[in-house]
């Protein structure tokens, strides 16, 4: 007599016969299943006592009729309909299981697993972003040290081409030639500066002449800088650094640079923030070894003041060059009375006012100045800027002189002699030089202007507030100017390319 008491606690196993269980003995038939005790609910189709979960014992040999074999590395098919219902339940423990659901459930499990991993990584990324945003508010300088390398990598991933009018370089514009103006003062000042540094500072300051460091400059005040900064220099080192600037720039160019630094100190006082702003938050690097014949150069990098100087023989390239400020004048404090870029503002207005109505209609490419318009700032080495506005070659003599005076304000930041060489280069392309204007033209107008030719691009841009409070619109309280050498000769790169072709190193 086979016991059928559901409360029995003896070991029980499933039989292939759907209406019988055996207690304390093996079930007839070659099912090949072993057992361990477990209690499950009874099923209408199968009488069972307190039962055990069955685990497969691997058969000695799988028959050709077996739809699933433990010895096989893959499943040939899902269990056939002749397999015991409990076998199916053990392999696929779901009350909703049917023979056709096996592959579907496997795909569903994979999809759920993928979704869980995606949600986990999304949570990690969101958490990191929240931490970084919080860090940026609490300590922007520290946050920039974390984020800036990624920004640089993304922005400088594209190889250098240069500013162009249509995406293609116009060749043959910058021959290697003697200018007759010595670069010895610049070289000597660079040697003096490097000699003033400690070995550790010198190691941080020197880079190869073709290093990517040239392109890492940025006007953003919390950007990570390379080289040695004025903050860590002693008095002798600071004097040597300023000596290098003075040997490269004209008197006016040097004083404008120093006034920009002073206004940066004034901004630090206004903001009560000397961690992000300050007169000494500027860094120097030297690319290559200062020489009278081999290519080399130096860079000054900081907020609102960037100088890139490339030297080859007696040729000098002083671009990209960035000058700006916010505010434009200090009315209080130790820097009271300091102001910058006032002549650049007045000369631009003088030129646009000198044009007649028809000429002005051509020069003004947009009468509304609603945003920042500069094209050639940091990480824009390959900007495509079409020629726009009025061609300067068509101006009368008086207008032409005003345009030349405007250009001279920018080329004149270079040391006397070299500035005249640069201006002569611009004049050779005068017929292909364009003057474009954005904004109103009245005496109190807010505006942008650009002078653009194959060999120079000058931009003057009145911008919206960043550090100081004010309406979210461009104003005369925040100005950026940028000078570029288009068609591949920013940083003297076209001269360097030709030099390396002639004299491989």
- Going by pLDDT thresholds of 50, 70 and 90, the confidence category of residue 90 is very low
**pLDDT tens readout for residues 184-243:** 999 999 999 999 999 999 999 999 999 999 999 999 988 889 999 999 999 999 999 999
Please tell me the pTM assigned to this model. 0.74
Residue 57, pLDDT above cutoff 60: no
pLDDT at 143: 54
- Examine residue 446 and state whether it is found in any structural domain, yes or no: yes
469 shares a domain with 391: yes
User: How large is the angle between the packed helices 235-248 and 251-271, nearest 10 degrees?
Assistant: 130
Residue 23, pLDDT above cutoff 90: no
86 shares a domain with 108: no
- Going by pLDDT thresholds of 50, 70 and 90, the confidence category of residue 142 is low
46 three-class SS: strand
251 shares a domain with 296: yes
183 shares a domain with 77: no
121 shares a domain with 10: no
- Going by pLDDT thresholds of 50, 70 and 90, the confidence category of residue 73 is very low
Number of structural domains the chain divides into: 3
pLDDT at 171: 97
343 shares a domain with 310: yes
- Examine residue 323 and state whether it is found in any structural domain, yes or no: yes
Tell which wins on pLDDT, 27 or 164.
164
What residue spans of 197-234 are helical by DSSP H? 199-205
387 shares a domain with 351: yes
**pLDDT tens readout for residues 427-455:** 999 999 999 999 999 999 999 999 999 99
262 shares a domain with 124: no
Angle at 391 (CA atoms; ends 387, 395), nearest 5 degrees: 165
Return the closest-CA partner of residue 334 out of 264, 231, 252, 234.
264
Q: Where in the sequence is the domain holding 409, given as residue range(s)?
A: 141-502
Asked if residue 35 lies in contact with residue 54, where contact means CB atoms within 8 angstroms, the answer is: yes
162 shares a domain with 55: no
How many whole angstroms separate alpha carbon 146 and alpha carbon 400?
A: 50
206 shares a domain with 73: no
Beta strand ranges found along 202-346 (DSSP E) = 206-207, 228-229, 282-287, 296-302, 305-312, 315-317, 321-325
145 shares a domain with 63: no
- Examine residue 98 and state whether it is found in any structural domain, yes or no: no
């Amino acid at each position: 007599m086979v016991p059928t008491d559901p409360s029995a606690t003896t070991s029980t196993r499933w039989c292939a016969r759907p209406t019988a269980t055996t207690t304390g003995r093996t079930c007839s038939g070659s099912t090949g299943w072993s057992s361990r005790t477990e209690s499950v609910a009874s099923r209408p189709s199968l009488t069972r006592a307190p039962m055990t979960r069955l685990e497969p014992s691997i058969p000695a040999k799988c028959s050709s009729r077996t739809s699933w074999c433990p010895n096989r590395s893959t499943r040939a098919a899902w269990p056939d309909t002749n397999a015991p219902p409990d076998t199916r339940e053990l392999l696929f423990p779901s009350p909703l299981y049917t023979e056709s659901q096996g592959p579907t459930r496997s795909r569903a499990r994979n999809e759920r697993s993928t979704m869980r991993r995606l949600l986990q990584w999304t949570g990690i990324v969101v958490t990191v972003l929240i931490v970084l945003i919080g860090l940026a508010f609490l300590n922007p300088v520290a946050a920039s040290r974390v984020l800036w390398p990624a920004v640089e990598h993304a922005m400088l991933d594209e190889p250098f081409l240069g500013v162009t009018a249509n995406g293609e370089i116009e060749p043959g514009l910058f021959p290697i030639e003697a200018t007759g103006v010595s670069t010895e003062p610049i070289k000597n000042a660079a040697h003096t500066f490097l000699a003033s540094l400690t070995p550790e500072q010198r190691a941080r300051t020197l880079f190869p002449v073709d290093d990517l460091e040239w392109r890492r400059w940025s006007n953003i005040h919390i950007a990570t800088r390379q080289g040695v900064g004025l903050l860590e220099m002693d008095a002798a080192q600071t004097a040597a650094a300023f000596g290098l600037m003075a040997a490269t720039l004209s008197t006016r160019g040097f004083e404008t640079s120093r006034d920009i630094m002073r206004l940066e100190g004034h901004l630090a006082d206004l903001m009560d923030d000397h961690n992000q702003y300050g007169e000494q938050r500027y860094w120097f690097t030297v690319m290559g070894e200062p020489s009278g014949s081999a290519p080399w150069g130096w860079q000054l990098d900081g907020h609102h003041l960037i100088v890139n100087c490339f030297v080859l023989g007696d040729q000098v390239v002083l671009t990209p060059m960035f000058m700006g400020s916010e505010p434009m004048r200090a009315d209080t404090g130790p820097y009271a009375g300091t102001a910058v870029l006032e002549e650049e503002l007045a000369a631009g207005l003088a030129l646009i006012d000198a044009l007649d109505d028809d000429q002005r209609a051509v020069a003004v490419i947009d009468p509304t100045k609603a945003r920042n318009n500069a094209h050639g700032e940091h990480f824009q080495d390959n900007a495509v800027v079409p020629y726009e506005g009025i061609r300067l070659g068509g101006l009368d003599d008086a207008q032409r002189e005003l345009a030349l005076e405007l250009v001279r304000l920018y080329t004149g930041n270079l040391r006397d002699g070299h500035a005249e060489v640069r201006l002569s280069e611009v004049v050779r392309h005068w017929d292909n030089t364009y003057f474009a204007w954005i904004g109103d033209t009245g005496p109190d107008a807010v505006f942008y202007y650009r002078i653009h030719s194959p060999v120079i691009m000058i931009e003057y841009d009145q911008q919206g507030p960043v550090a100081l409070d004010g309406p979210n619109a461009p104003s005369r309280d925040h100005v950026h100017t940028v000078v570029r050498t288009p068609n591949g000769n920013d940083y003297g790169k076209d001269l360097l390319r030709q030099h390396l072709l002639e004299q491989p190193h």
